[in-house]
Amino acid sequence: MRRRLPSSFLFWSKADRIRAMRKKKRSSKSHPSKKPTHSDIKTLKDICLIDLEELKEHEEIRPDYLEELKNEILCDGILKMPIAVDKETYIILDGHHRLHALKRIGCKKIPVILFDYQSPEIEVIPHREGETVTKEMVIQTALEGRRMPPKTSKHMILIEGERRHISILETVINIPLDELK
């Protein structure tokens, strides 16, 4: 049975992704002289490859898990899953450890699935009982270049009336590491 995907899960054509990247690059103050090219963004079905440096983090990572994940990715020679990213801000919703593992391996790009973080179908809940975390806190933290402790936020998405972790939409891609360098 085919799962109905929420409207916040974006299926952009290659042309739409390139237009979005050009718009983002034009409005970016950090790279005013850098012109976007077709190699800035590539399409793998509904997944796009984005420069690691374009992404914004909001959580610290656990060094012990990072080392384990990096070794697993190196041993496999592939990255199995993309990460989840907000389409407007490029804030990472799920995948901080994969990002850091690829950086340590020497990769320059990472496969992402773009989401509309402002959609009411996406919400953030705390990993630990008694803590508070909101979308606004995640956005502000990332845009200010700060980090929350590891595993502070848990991004959920509403699918057919059921709240599920956002990683449910991260499909297996098995992309060779050479394609990310």
In the chain, where are the structural domains located? 14-180
pTM of the model: 0.76
State both tokens at 20.
């979005």
Whole-angstrom Cα distance, residue 175 to residue 6? 25
Residue identified by tokens 């800035």 is: 40
Whole-angstrom Cα distance, residue 29 to residue 21? 14
Other C-beta atoms lying within 10 Å of the C-beta of residue 7: 9
Q: Who's near 14: CB < 8 A, 6+ residues apart?
A: 43
Q: Do the Cβ atoms of 173 and 80 come closer than 8 Å?
A: yes
Other C-beta atoms lying within 10 Å of the C-beta of residue 8: 20
14-180: CATH architecture: Alpha-Beta Complex (3.90)
Low-confidence residues of the chain, pLDDT below 50?
A: 1-45
- For position 162, what pLDDT does the model report? 95
- For position 47, what pLDDT does the model report? 87
- The closest alpha carbon to 132, from 158, 157, 153, belongs to 153
- For position 153, what pLDDT does the model report? 97
Whole-angstrom Cα distance, residue 24 to residue 30? 11
- For position 148, what pLDDT does the model report? 97
pLDDT digits (tens, 9 = 90+) for 30-64: 333 333 333 333 334 478 999 999 999 999 999 99
- The closest alpha carbon to 79, from 172, 167, 165, belongs to 172
